[in-house]
Structure 1
Amino acid sequence: MEGALVLGVALTAFLGTLVLVPGGGEGAVWSPGSFARRAGHRVARLMRRFGGSATVSLLIGTDVGQRLALEASSTPVAIAFGVGPEGSLAALLCAGALVCAFFGLLLASPLACPVVGLALVGICVSRDAARGRRIRREVLGAMPGIYRTLAVAMGSGQTLAQAVEYVGTHERGPASAAFARMSLRLRCGTGTEEAVEALSRELDVPGAELLATALVISHRTGSPLRDLLVRSARLAERQGEFERLLSVKTAQVRLSVRIVCLLPVIMVGALTLLSPDFQRGLLTPAGIGCICAAMALDGLALAIIRRMMRGVL
């Protein structure tokens, strides 16, 4: 409560300053909008400078950090102030640090900052994983239509480049974007086999290697491979049905994995934030030993469940 009182007083003083401080000289009209714009540009310059630090470079070198930076840089605020991916990631880091400091001050506990920081990292990682699964499902669902579109386009006498451009133009979703990028690579003079290999890496779904091999063979021999592509479309549809059935059959096991992994972590984090007695006990050697033993048992349970699921998934 003391922390909330300090923050409230600081916010009141800041708003009072905005109201009471007069504007500049003649012709200078002060307004909250102009003040916000100037403050935004200064913050943007600071974030661009902080974007060149070693911490940001290390984080943006990872897949999760790179995707998070690209997503943050595509927001309207980042575009309006001209902040790139590095500056956007730096802004997210600063925002996370402010959130951790706020909870640490609000709860008056030194353990609140690391707990909230770990929670924010976990949210970002789980969100990125969920986004990857969603994109993979969309690509898997679009593959039968892509196979049929390629069969029709190449069966009508179009070249590989024309068929790929047709797919990238007429299909929708992440898969069509990968074909559009392949078409752009072919226009820019990239070799066919290299462009097809890049396509298979970007799709990253079962059957992508088969599609890449079929496209290379079609380019080398001139054969449209219509029957092969139509059969691949049917197999992709059956694979999608099998994956949906497998997802239904293993729903209970996956729920057990989530409960085993998340419930102890959530309980420890909540008690660390809310219970002073738990905080004092956690800082003792016995408390640290109990937490380590709990983490070891949790990891052992997760390893057992993964071993049981290995023959199914």
Structure 2
Amino acid sequence: MEAAYVLGLGGCAWLGSFALVGGGLPRARAEGWRTRRLRRLAGVAAERLATLPLVHLLAGRDDWGLAADEFGGLVAQVGLATSREGSCALLLAGGFLAGVVLALLFGTWLALPLAALLLAVGVPLLAQSTRRRRERELAQAMPGVFRTLAMALASGETLSQAIDYLGSNSPDVVAPAFARVSLRLRCGISVEGSMNALREELEAPGVGLLATALTISQRTGSPLRELFEHAAQMVERQGEFQRLLAVKTAQVRLSARVVCALPAILIGVLSLVSPDFRSGLATLFGAGCVLVAAGMDALALLIIRRLMRGVL
């Protein structure tokens, strides 16, 4: 018995010294190989699921497409590059797997419709958050665009050179649009046509003024430095007013989120953890009470959204 005890201690000491001294690099290599294999399998599964009609239908919608692009950018940071349909398929697969895991943990298959409901609500919220973030980034980038154009045109550069500089050195949120405008100008498309395309592609404060001013300047040769400087100041002031308004209306927006999310979260959690609540929910009276409460919650949400629309 003592010999076995000594041998066991020796084996543990050897394993510990191997892990501390010599076992780090092989383990890291093994983990790296497993990670690459998981990425490859996830990519293959995503592309195969992307061929489903449901995935194509959802990826073609505005909210799901935008959410899929945002999710695709997140998974691309870990080395998994997928198309829009592949990212949408990963979102659906993740929601389904989350529902299965919750169902196994809590012993009820009610977690599957709850996961589907979470996807149906969460994807539009993610798309809306992405749009708001993009609008803020555009509002922050446009003053620099105006000032860059003012300095470039005042220093003697042509319009094509100024647009090309913007496409190469502007922030990522506006650079692709100006790069496409520069390509159109090089291909022989008129300034008016290129500016109209820019107005349609880039929904940012002051883009209409920018396109109109550049078109008129190209025809008449009038200087635009003072106009662009004034436009940059106006866009900055507009951004400051929007931030101030967001601060002033933060309480209303928080109330709307609480009124919308808290009852649904409570019903979902109680449905998962409480068998008595599930049995009551299965009755006609319990389901009716939940439906009435959901209708009242929806009515309160509509009222708050109308008040917010009046404030904004």
Same fold (TM over 0.5): yes
| Structure 2 residue aligned with 1:303 | 302
Residue 54 of structure 2 is matched in structure 1 by: 55
Structure 1: give runs of 5+ residues left out of the alignment: 1-30
Alignment-derived partner of residue 269 in structure 2: 270
- Partner residue, 1:175: 174
TM-score (norm 1): 0.78
Q: Secondary structure at the match of 2:174?
A: helix
The 1:189/1:94 distance shift into structure 2, 3 A limit, reads farther
State the alpha-carbon separation in 2 of the partners of residues 225 and 32 from structure 1: 59
Q: Is the 8 A contact 1:143 1:236 kept in 2?
A: yes
Q: Aligned with 1:229: secondary structure?
A: helix
CA RMSD across the alignment: 2.6
Q: 1:109 to 1:257 in 2, by over 3 A?
A: same
The reply on whether 1:211 has 2:213 as its aligned counterpart is no
Distance apart, 1:167 and its partner CA: 2.0
Is this contact kept in 2: 1:47–1:90, CA < 8 A? yes
| Offset from partner CA, 1:36-91 (integer Å, 9 cap, x none) | 76676566444323312211110110123323433455514433xxx433233323
Alignment of 1:239-278 (within 5 A): 239-278=238-277
Structure 1 pair 190–105 and aligned structure 2 pair: CA distance change class (3 A): farther
The aligned residue for residue 133 of structure 2 is 134
Per the alignment, do residues 37 and 238 of structure 1 end up closer, same or farther by CA in structure 2, a change over 3 Å counting?
A: closer
Q: Which amino acid in structure 2 is aligned with residue 56 of structure 1?
A: V
Aligned equivalent of 1:225: 224
Distance 2:132 2:243 in 1: 13
Q: Is the 8 A contact 1:151 1:224 kept in 2?
A: no
Q: Which residue of 2 aligns with 1:91?
A: 90
Q: Which moved more, 1:83-92 or 1:292-301?
A: 83-92
TM-score, structure 2 as length reference: 0.79
Q: Tell me if structure 2 keeps the 8 A contact 1:59–1:66.
A: yes
Offset of 1:148 from its aligned partner? Answer: 1.3
- Identical columns (%): 47
Residue 108 of structure 2 corresponds to residue 104 of structure 1: no
Show structure 2 runs of 5+ residues with no match.
1-29
Relative distance call for 1:134 and 1:301 in structure 2 (3 A) is same
Distance 1:37 1:237 in 2: 46
Deviations 1:256-296 (A, max 9, x none): 11111111121112112221111122222222222221222
Letter of the aligned partner of 1:125 in structure 2? Answer: P
2: CA distance between counterparts of 1:137 and 1:238? 13
| AA at the equivalent of 2:304 | I
Larger radius of gyration: 2
Cα distance, 1:175 vs structure 2: 2.4
* SS state at 1:78 partner: coil
Query: Greater shift after overlay, 62-71 or 161-170?
Result: 62-71
Q: Which residue of 2 aligns with 1:78?
A: 80
Asked whether the 8 Å contact 1:78–1:88 carries over to 2, the reply is no
SS of residue in 2 equivalent to 1:109: coil
Worse-matched range after superposition: 97-106 or 166-175: 166-175
| AA at the equivalent of 2:168 | T
CA drift of 1:113 comes to: 0.9
Count, aligned residues: 280
Equivalent-residue separation in structure 2 for 1:218 and 1:129 (angstroms): 37
The amino acid that maps onto 1:47 is A
How far apart are the structure 2 equivalents of 1:286 and 1:235?
58
* Residues 130-157 of structure 1, C-alpha deviations (whole Å, 9 max, x = no match): 2221221121122222111111112233
Alpha-carbon distance between aligned partners in 2 of 1:155 and 1:93, rounded to the nearest angstrom: 52
- Do 1:138 and 1:173's aligned partners in 2 also have CA atoms closer than 8 Å? no
Counterpart AA for 1:249:
K
- 2:150, 2:225 within 8 Å by CA — same for their partners in 1? yes
Q: Sort the Cα spacing of 1:36 and 1:302 in 2 relative to 1 into closer, same or farther, 3 A.
A: closer
Q: CA deviation at 1:217?
A: 1.8
Q: For residues 45 and 252 of structure 2, what CA distance do their matches in structure 1 show?
A: 47
Q: Distance in 2 between matches of 1:127 and 1:120?
A: 10
State the partner residue of 1:122. Answer: 121
Give the match for residue 238 of structure 1.
237
| Matched position secondary structure for 2:108 | coil
Aligned to 1:143: 142
